[in-house]
Amino acid sequence: MTNAGYNVRVFHPADISELFRHIIEIGRLTGKEKKASELVADMKKDIRSIPKVKNKSVFIEVCPQPLIAASDKTFLSSVCEIIGLKNIAVFKDSYPGVNAEWLIRQKPDFILLTGSSEEEFRALHPYIKNAKLLRPSDIDIIVRPGPRITRGMREIYYLAEDAEKKQ
């Protein structure tokens, strides 16, 4: 694209704060600074209104086979932490491969599925019995950083709350 003369910018936020800065920057680049600032203010307000999960852990599944996690160094982990879920995958790499034995030893309260359905995950990993599976209805709203992330955060919270009630 740059060879064709286009001004190219790449945005890959590591956390929510960086997403907010990127939205403001995109607004500046497109001459829509006021709209971008209003959007960020609305997102912050929405995030403050989302209830928090208390004292629960999560494993964020990116790929079911081989089993790949989103570590504490990822945007998705920061999203989970904001709503009160502590990511058990604390690694130096962002997307480490893990083995089933490690996952079983960690005993997460929840497994957030972003790379498989509940049925697929259970079929591939039948020995993981105690963790409650959370599968958002629209994965894109949580794995693609943007304004819809607040909807995704709210859905993850309610999925966790519903899973706890079923216990």
Residue 167: per-residue pLDDT = 66
pLDDT in tens, 64-110: 999 999 999 999 999 999 999 999 999 999 999 999 899 999 999 99
In terms of average pLDDT, the best of 1-5, 7-11, 148-152 is: 148-152
What six digits make up the tokens of 36?
């971008």
In this structure, CATH architecture of domain 56-166: 3-Layer(aba) Sandwich (3.40)
Burial of residue 120 (number of CB atoms within 10 Å: 0-12, 13-18, 19+): middle
pLDDT greater than 90 at residue 2: no
CA distance 16 to 78: 7
User: Where do the structural domains in the chain lie, given as residue ranges?
Assistant: 2-49, 56-166
Give the residue from 22, 145, 125 showing the smallest Cα distance to 79: 145
Compute the mean pLDDT over every residue in the chain, rounded to the nearest whole number: 94
